[in-house]
Amino acid sequence: MIGPKFSVAAMLLSKIEATMKKVFMLALLALVTIPFANARQNAQPKAIVLTHVTVIDATGAPAKPDVTVVITGDRITELGPTSGVRIPKNAEVVDATGKFLIPGLWDMHVHVYDKPSLKLFIANGVTGIRIMWGFPAHFELRKEVQQGTLLAPRMIIASTIVDGPKPFWPGSIAVSNEAEGRQAVIKLKQDGYDFVKVYSLLPRASYFAIADEAKKQGIPIEGHVPYSVSAGAASDAGQKTIEHLTGILAASSAREEEYAKGLQEALLNLPPDQKFPSPARIRPLTRLMLENFSPEKANILFGRLKRNHTWQCPTLTVLRSTAFFNDPKFRNDPRLKYVSTEMRDAWDPTKDFRFKERTAEDFELSRQTYQKQFELVSMMHKAGVDLLAGTDTANPFCFPGFSLHDELALLVNAGLTPMAALQTATLNPARFLGKEKDLGTVEKNKIADLVLLDENPLEDIRNTTKIRSVVFNGRLLDRKALDQALAEIEAAAKK
Ligand SMILES: [Zn+2]
């Protein structure tokens, strides 16, 4: 019954894959000169030793000064006061006096379409990513990382987007009913994806069937809260993450039902050529939602999210960039030099179908919404809701690698301590992934994904950008190697 629909989706997908493969190939050619791009690890790795370093282990403990860290292969094999740690023979010893060591960072919401982006993550100390729209090509990349032939972050790979009968993005799996929803989950689980990415236009019954089937199949569902479902109900259904605070503001409105009804009506009565209601249609609904914000209702919802262990990946970076997309000052980011011409072209508000029709009034309204979302993050943090740092990079002005540091600073602005913000990109992702034994903190026997900083990030979170070196896959990439990589990416982006 769902055969034809799947084959259409598959056709679209293979088209996208073909394009992606081309992009990957081009990127590969452009990058062969990057020194750390494809160097294989030595068979007999020599130890790397950082002496006299201040360790910020991200467990929440205070910074520990004058520590020596021994890294053998890809593990931390010794860690303790410098006076008490024996340095192995032939080790690569780095005097890290005055420097600060933190765990490698995770960006928990990214889109990756080329290899240079992957390099940008590493060059910015981002050693792990959660890819939010997975393609078979990502499995190949992950294999290369595991084999040590590609220096790119560790990857968690989402499924193809699963959306309603008329998906927002071409290439998504279109689901119209419960049977199709279950079938999609079974297929995606078989394909080996780490989780099912659910999206905004899923019909209510299909969504709950997906959630139920996912439980049976033992695969998490993560993504947007669909417009047809309230955030609390999605949390109760077991959705593991909510991205971009989708559904949160609506569910925190004293007039939630009215808002939801209005939105459903607008979605049901779309002109045939439109995927989404026009800004004019949405405007009064957004106002209704904002003007009837109920802190009481929000806090009840946050209690529910906490109880259900529903993780929030607010992606303040993309919420901000889409709200300020029409501001030329915002669009003049010096980091654009690392972004390919194609991507820069796509980051044009007049070309993006999502923003084309927006007026100054709409942008003003989206800034008010952003302000409110900022408050929500602060409230959620106080209420003990689990947070993950994510950027939605590849979206306009969300820069691979760089923007994770923006996100940390935004989270501190929203009221998190620098330690709590740091944990959203280190300890929390490890907990979320059930990998606390291996990742997330700087401790003995853990995997040595590490970032060495020139200044203390607990004093000012923006110090996470002052990267001296990155340790990943048993290798130390010093500032010179990182700068060289950045220069190569910049040169490649000009072509
Ligand atoms: Zn995304």
CA of 400 to the centre of ligand 1 (A): 13
CA of 478 to the centre of ligand 1 (A): 31
Angle, alpha carbons 198-413-311 (nearest 5°): 25
CA of 243 to the centre of ligand 1 (A): 8
CA of 479 to the centre of ligand 1 (A): 30
pLDDT digits (tens, 9 = 90+) for 321-377: 999 888 888 778 999 999 988 888 888 877 777 777 788 898 999 999 999 999 999
CA of 89 to the centre of ligand 1 (A): 46
CA of 67 to the centre of ligand 1 (A): 39
pLDDT at residue 113, as a whole number: 87
CA of 66 to the centre of ligand 1 (A): 40
CA of 69 to the centre of ligand 1 (A): 36
pLDDT at residue 20, as a whole number: 46
CA of 131 to the centre of ligand 1 (A): 8
CA of 240 to the centre of ligand 1 (A): 15
CA of 25 to the centre of ligand 1 (A): 24
CA of 117 to the centre of ligand 1 (A): 15
CA of 186 to the centre of ligand 1 (A): 23
CA of 24 to the centre of ligand 1 (A): 20
CA of 481 to the centre of ligand 1 (A): 30
CA of 112 to the centre of ligand 1 (A): 10
- Tokens 């996100």 correspond to what residue? 407
pLDDT at residue 42, as a whole number: 45
CB 239 within 8 A of CB 222: yes
CA of 132 to the centre of ligand 1 (A): 6
CA of 245 to the centre of ligand 1 (A): 12
CA of 286 to the centre of ligand 1 (A): 21
DSSP 79: E
CA of 315 to the centre of ligand 1 (A): 9
Cβ neighbours of residue 305 closer than 8 Å, sequence gap 6 or more? 231, 232, 235, 242, 312, 380, 385
CA of 172 to the centre of ligand 1 (A): 13
CA of 381 to the centre of ligand 1 (A): 22
CA of 49 to the centre of ligand 1 (A): 38
CA of 229 to the centre of ligand 1 (A): 19
Residue type, 143: K
Phi, psi dihedral angles at 108 (to 5 degrees) = -90, 10
Helix (H, G, I), strand (E, B) or coil at 468: strand
CA of 109 to the centre of ligand 1 (A): 6
CA of 46 to the centre of ligand 1 (A): 39
pLDDT at residue 44, as a whole number: 56
The token duo for 287 is 């106002």
Phi-psi category of residue 293: left, alpha or beta, with phi > 0 → left and psi -120 to 50 → alpha:
beta
Query: In angstroms, rounded to a whole number, what is the distance separating the alpha carbons of residues 365 and 249?
Result: 14
CA of 201 to the centre of ligand 1 (A): 15
CA of 391 to the centre of ligand 1 (A): 8
CA of 223 to the centre of ligand 1 (A): 8
pLDDT, block means (10 residues), the chain with 495 residues:
32 41 42 40 74 98 98 96 95 97 98 90 98 96 92 96 94 97 98 97 97 98 97 98 97 96 90 84 94 97 98 97 86 90 84 80 93 96 98 94 98 97 98 98 98 98 98 95 96 89
CB 467 within 8 A of CB 424: no
The pTM (predicted TM-score) of the whole model is: 0.91
CA of 244 to the centre of ligand 1 (A): 8
DSSP 167: -
pLDDT at residue 148, as a whole number: 86
Q: What secondary structure, in 3-state letters, does the chain show?
A: CCHHHHHHHHHHHHHHHHHHHHHHHHHHHHHCCCCCCCCCCCCCCCCEEEEEEEECCCCCCCCEEEEEEEEECCEEEEEEEHHHCCCCCCCEEEECCCCEEEECEEEEEECCCCHHHHHHHHHCCEEEEEECCCCHHHHHHHHHHHHCCCCCCEEEEEEEEEECCCCCCCCCEECCCHHHHHHHHHHHHHCCCCEEEECCCCCHHHHHHHHHHHHHHCCCEEECCCCCCCHHHHHHCCCCEEECCCCHHHHCECCHHHHHHHHHHHHHCCCCCCCCCCHHHHHHHHHHHHHCECHHHHHHHHHHHHHCCCEEECCHHHHHHHHCCCCHHHHCCHHHHHCCHHHHHHCCCCCCCCCCCCCHHHHHHHHHHHHHHHHHHHHHHHHCCCECCCCCECECCCCCCHHHHHHHHHHHHCCCCHHHHHHHCCHHHHHHHCCCCCCCCCCCCCECCEEEECCCCCCCHHHHHCEEEEEECCEEEEHHHHHHHHHHHHHHHHC
CA of 108 to the centre of ligand 1 (A): 10
CA of 379 to the centre of ligand 1 (A): 23
